[in-house]
């Protein structure tokens, strides 16, 4: 196990050890936000027949002819086709099959009807108008969507419209959150002496839900090693990813590293040269990822964004990482060398302002931030107007 590693090495290790989840078949109606794991081809011409794009009148266009005898009617879904003779027009509705013999649809608002005869101004229509040709949406055998496409509503609608009911997708990961700490109380309950409210589990659950991950289980172990081991073992029976909060330092009540060992998790690194979140622990058991996150909530959220989010991106095949760009510091800042600083910040236009309240226990400043400012490990002095990297919070 590597110890006290730089930020870049921590991310490199995580990304090298995580793999995409195995693809599985899913009903399209349950696949919103998932990534397609196969190319999809259309089995049909869509539409499969010449289709009216208007309510109006269908006929065979003849140059110079502007009067037709009306014969019959076609509604959407009518299964009986009839041949429309030259010089005759049929009443037709949007989505209906244009009858054989017809090639044009005149919108009803441009029609003049007198004694069963259709008349119109010839300048308002040309051959083929308002007829959706077979295969004009997609032709049989054509590629509909490539593997790797994220199934957002329009794509689900498109695939449903070509007859696809289910597809092979990369599933969302199953996630467990294990919260340690005897001092924690649940929101809504009275706060006793020496207690603090748990903000980590609702915060992490909200992060996951924002990513479309809803198969989440939350466990509370307190600072009881035996219970922590049992809950971690239980979580590993069904989870692709486990996040544990608290207990990752070297105090008398820090039991997470021992739980890793007891449950057969291979620890790859412990502690990162960063602030906040220095004591973070990361391990794997097979293809399962296990994080020992710090206990302070700002540290937890920073570590989630910087190290858990990239792993979820790899697991799901969907790039969910934070957007990285540069911005100019709105004021000078100084820090000691030796640690990368991830600072709560607010970007506005080309500038970024570091928030007050950078302590790792404070979420109030995070609540006002829209990005994380990254101040590199060995740099100490940052001038007003200096360009720095910022990570945009999703």
pLDDT-derived band at 320, boundaries 50, 70, 90: confident
For residue 330, the domain's CATH number is: 2.40.340.10
pLDDT-derived band at 39, boundaries 50, 70, 90: very high
Among residues 316, 345, 374, the one where a domain terminates is 316
Residues 146 and 178 in one domain: no
Number of helices (H), then strands (E), in the chain: 8, 30
Residues 102 and 193 in one domain: no
Among residues 131, 147, 180, the one where a domain terminates is 131
The yes-or-no verdict on residue 250 having pLDDT over 80 is: no
Cα–Cα distance, 60 to 100 (Å, whole number): 9
**Is-contact 289 174, C-beta < 8 A?**
no
Kind plus residue range of the DSSP H or E element containing 16: helix 7-17
Residues 180 and 111 in one domain: no
For residue 36, the domain's CATH number is: 3.90.105.10
Pull the structure tokens for residue 142.
């054509």
For residue 123, the domain's CATH number is: 2.170.190.11
The yes-or-no verdict on residue 253 having pLDDT over 80 is: no
Among residues 76, 101, 131, the one where a domain terminates is 131
Cα–Cα distance, 196 to 182 (Å, whole number): 10
The yes-or-no verdict on residue 319 having pLDDT over 90 is: no
Residues 301 and 328 in one domain: no
Residues 116 and 153 in one domain: no
Residues 254 and 283 in one domain: yes
- pLDDT at residue 79, as a whole number: 86
Longest CA–CA separation in the chain, Å = 97
Q: How confident is the model over 364-379, as pLDDT tens digits?
A: 999 999 999 999 999 9
Q: How many domains does the chain have?
A: 4
The yes-or-no verdict on residue 126 having pLDDT over 80 is: yes
Residues 179 and 257 in one domain: yes
**Is-contact 309 208, C-beta < 8 A?**
no
- pLDDT at residue 261, as a whole number: 95
Residues 87 and 71 in one domain: yes
Residues 292 and 341 in one domain: no
Cα–Cα distance, 358 to 382 (Å, whole number): 17
For residue 248, the domain's CATH number is: 3.40.980.10
pLDDT-derived band at 80, boundaries 50, 70, 90: confident
Q: What is the pLDDT averaged over residues 101-109?
A: 98
Q: Coil, helix or strand for 344?
A: strand
Residues 289 and 358 in one domain: no
- pLDDT at residue 388, as a whole number: 98
Residues 62 and 83 in one domain: yes
Task: Tell me the percentage of the chain whose pLDDT exceeds 90.
Answer: 96
Q: How confident is the model over 157-188, as pLDDT tens digits?
A: 999 999 999 999 999 999 999 999 999 999 99
**Is-contact 236 242, C-beta < 8 A?**
yes
Which residues span the domain enclosing 160? 24-45+137-170
Residues 227 and 348 in one domain: no
């Amino acid at each position: 196990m590597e110890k006290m590693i730089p930020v870049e090495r921590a991310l490199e290790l995580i990304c090298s050890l995580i793999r995409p989840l195995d693809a599985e078949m899913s009903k399209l109606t349950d696949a919103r936000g998932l990534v397609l794991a196969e190319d999809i081809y259309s089995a049909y011409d869509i539409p499969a027949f010449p289709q009216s794009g208007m309510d109006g009148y269908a006929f065979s266009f003849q140059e110079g002819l502007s009067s037709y005898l009306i014969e019959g009617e076609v509604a959407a879904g009518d299964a009986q086709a009839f041949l429309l003779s030259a010089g005759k027009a049929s009443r037709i509705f949007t989505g209906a099959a244009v009858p054989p013999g017809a090639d044009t649809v005149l919108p009803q608002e441009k029609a003049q009807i007198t004694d069963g005869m259709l008349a119109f101004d010839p300048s308002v229509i040309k051959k083929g108008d308002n007829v959706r040709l077979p295969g004009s949406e997609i032709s049989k055998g054509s590629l509909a969507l490539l593997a790797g496409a994220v199934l957002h509503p329009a794509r689900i609608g498109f695939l449903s419209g070509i007859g696809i009911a289910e597809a092979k997708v990369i599933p969302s990961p199953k996630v467990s959150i294990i919260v340690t700490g005897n001092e924690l109380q649940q929101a809504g309950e009275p706060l006793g002496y020496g207690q603090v409210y748990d903000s980590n589990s609702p915060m992490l659950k909200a992060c996951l839900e924002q990513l479309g991950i809803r198969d989440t289980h939350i466990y509370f172990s307190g600072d009881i090693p035996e219970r922590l081991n049992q809950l971690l073992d239980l979580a590993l029976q069904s989870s692709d990813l486990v996040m544990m909060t608290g207990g990752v330092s070297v105090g008398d009540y820090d039991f997470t590293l021992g739980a890793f060992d007891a449950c057969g998790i291979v620890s790859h690194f412990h502690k990162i040269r960063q602030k906040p979140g220095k004591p973070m622990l990361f391990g794997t058991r097979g293809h399962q990822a296990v994080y020992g996150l710090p206990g302070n909530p700002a540290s937890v959220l920073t570590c989630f964004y910087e190290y858990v989010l990239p792993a979820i991106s790899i697991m799901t095949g969907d790039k969910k990482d934070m957007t990285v760009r540069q911005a100019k510091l709105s004021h000078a800042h100084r820090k000691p060398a030796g640690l990368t600083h991830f600072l709560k910040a607010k970007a506005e236009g080309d500038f970024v302002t570091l928030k007050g309240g950078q302590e790792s226990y404070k979420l109030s400043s995070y609540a006002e931030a829209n990005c994380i400012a990254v101040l590199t490990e060995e740099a100490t002095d940052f001038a007003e107007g200096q360009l720095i990297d910022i990570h945009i919070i999703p």
